[in-house]
């Protein structure tokens, strides 16, 4: 039975332990946009009630670079990511199990999602070989030969204890064409079945399958049709944000959200630019993740509604305004652009200060979109956002086309 959530709002996440959902993941749609495919939902897992659409910061090694767990709590972040490949290599499952899982190990009381590790091995490692058994690769830590199979990925993720786990999928570069794309799609389906069979904590953790098929609509349809036959609690769309054209990107997202069930959360992997988030929420996506907010902070760049600003530029040397006037994060309440210009890329603490703002920016953008959807003014929000982000009628054509497809002409 779904938990009662009055007026589409969640109780504070710290109360989640007092009324855990009847299943490891319970999702319900609380409000729908009457024009686009955007919707607001509540995803209740063991450690938090997560309002969707949601942006999930990425803590690859079990830590968000430059931000403490208590700072994330102050920002009311409900869910963050860890990475199976990195955590499985170091510290390893023995340490994670001894610690009682990643929540205890890193001191994070709210929800966790773990990626399977397949993407990292294919994208980051030169010596990787994919076979039906799994992915064979060379450890970057000691050079030893390792094998990550769907079963081993589940074993690591069960030790991590994340609320949501991604299946190991056969990852190919987005722009790949030819028979390799179809091979990877079918193998991803087979690996899902092996992952489900190996999953040892189904009463506590939920597997999300990953829709693959490159930029070929027919393959995406076949994959989604097969994956939705399995009894899983949510779905991910993978294989995008890897160099494909934005036109191919939005059309694939639009297709996949049409193919996936209405009553389960839809997660678009690796997407984090603000304009992309707005477009993809309109296309019906519920969950997003990306390293971008913290990575760009390490280069001295801060996020604003008008776009990214580079605080290293001398134009900010005497600018006594905060990064954003209407932002309530500790960075904007405390520091000026001039001060941040003075310390960025020079003092290590600058990374933390700017990262706090950038994550706060992403979370506030998602909150503003949820409010707009609940009040059924999301199309107006989208138009207002795009006018600020792209002044002088400079909105990219792909954004115009994507929004027109869901009845929001710009």
Detail the residues annotated as belonging to a binding site.
Answer: 115-119, 169, 212, 239, 327, 329, 332, 357
Nearest-angstrom CA–CA distance, 118 and 391: 39
Sign of CA dihedral 226, 227, 232, 235: negative
In degrees and rounded to multiples of 5, residue 105 shows phi and psi of: -60, -40
Annotated binding site for Zn(2+): 327, 329, 332, 357
Nearest-angstrom CA–CA distance, 93 and 108: 18
Within 234-325, strands assigned E span 235-237, 266-268, 287-290, 301-304, 307-310
Instruction: Supply 264's token pair.
Output: 């389960």
Rg value, the chain, Cα: 21
Active-site residue set: 115, 289
Asked whether 116 and 166 are in contact (CB, 8 A), the reply is: yes
Annotated binding site for substrate: 115-119, 169, 212, 239
Instruction: Supply 127's token pair.
Output: 């010596």
312: nearest Cα among 357, 334, 342? 342
The end-to-end CA distance of the chain, in Å, is 42
Asked whether 138 and 185 are in contact (CB, 8 A), the reply is: no
Nearest-angstrom CA–CA distance, 164 and 210: 13
DSSP string, 17-51: GGG--SSSEEEEEEEE-SSSS-EEEEEEETTEEEE
Q: How far is CA 395 from the centre of its chain?
A: 25
Nearest-angstrom CA–CA distance, 85 and 157: 10
| Cα–Cα distance list, 37 to 148, 254, 311 (Å) | 37, 9, 36
The four Cα atoms 105, 108, 112, 118 give a dihedral, to 10 degrees, of -40
Asked whether 235 and 266 are in contact (CB, 8 A), the reply is: yes
């Amino acid at each position: 039975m779904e938990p009662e959530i009055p007026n589409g709002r969640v109780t504070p996440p710290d109360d989640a332990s007092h009324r855990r959902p009847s299943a490891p993941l319970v999702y319900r749609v609380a409000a729908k946009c009457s024009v686009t495919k955007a919707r607001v939902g509540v995803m209740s897992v063991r450690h938090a009630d997560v309002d969707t659409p949601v942006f999930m910061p990425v803590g690859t090694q079990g830590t968000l670079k430059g931000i403490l767990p208590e700072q994330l709590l102050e920002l009311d972040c409900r869910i963050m990511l860890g990475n199976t490949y990195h955590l499985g290599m170091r510290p390893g499952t023995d340490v994670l199990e001894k610690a009682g899982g990643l929540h205890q190990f890193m001191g994070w009381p709210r929800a966790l999602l773990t990626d399977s590790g397949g993407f990292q091995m294919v994208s980051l490692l030169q010596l990787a070989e994919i076979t039906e058994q799994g992915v064979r690769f060379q450890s970057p830590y000691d050079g030893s030969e390792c094998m990550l199979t769907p079963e081993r990925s589940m074993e690591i993720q069960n030790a991590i204890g994340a609320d949501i786990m991604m299946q190991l999928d056969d990852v190919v570069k987005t722009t790949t064409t030819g028979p390799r794309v179809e091979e990877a799609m079918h193998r991803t389906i087979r690996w899902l079945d092996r992952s489900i069979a190996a999953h040892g904590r189904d009463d506590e953790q939920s597997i999300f399958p990953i829709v693959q098929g490159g930029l070929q609509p027919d393959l995406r349809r076949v994959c989604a049709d097969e994956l939705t036959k399995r009894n899983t609690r949510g779905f991910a769309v993978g294989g995008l944000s890897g160099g494909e054209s934005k036109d191919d990107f939005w059309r694939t997202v639009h297709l996949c959200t049409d193919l996936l069930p209405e009553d389960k959360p839809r997660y678009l992997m690796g997407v984090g630019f603000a304009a992309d988030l707005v477009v993809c929420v309109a296309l019906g996506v519920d969950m997003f993740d990306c390293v971008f907010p913290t990575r760009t902070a390490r280069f001295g760049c801060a996020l604003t509604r008008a776009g990214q600003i580079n605080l290293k530029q001398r134009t900010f040397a005497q600018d006594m305004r905060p990064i954003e006037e209407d932002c309530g994060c500790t960075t904007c309440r405390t520091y000026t652009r001039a001060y941040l210009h003075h310390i960025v890329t020079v003092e290590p603490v600058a990374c933390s200060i700017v990262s706090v703002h950038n994550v706060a920016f992403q979370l506030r953008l998602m909150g503003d979109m949820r409010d707009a959807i609940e009040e059924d003014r999301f199309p107006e929000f989208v138009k207002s956002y795009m006018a600020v982000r792209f002044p002088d009628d400079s909105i990219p054509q792909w954004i115009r086309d994507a929004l027109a497809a869901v009845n929001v002409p710009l």
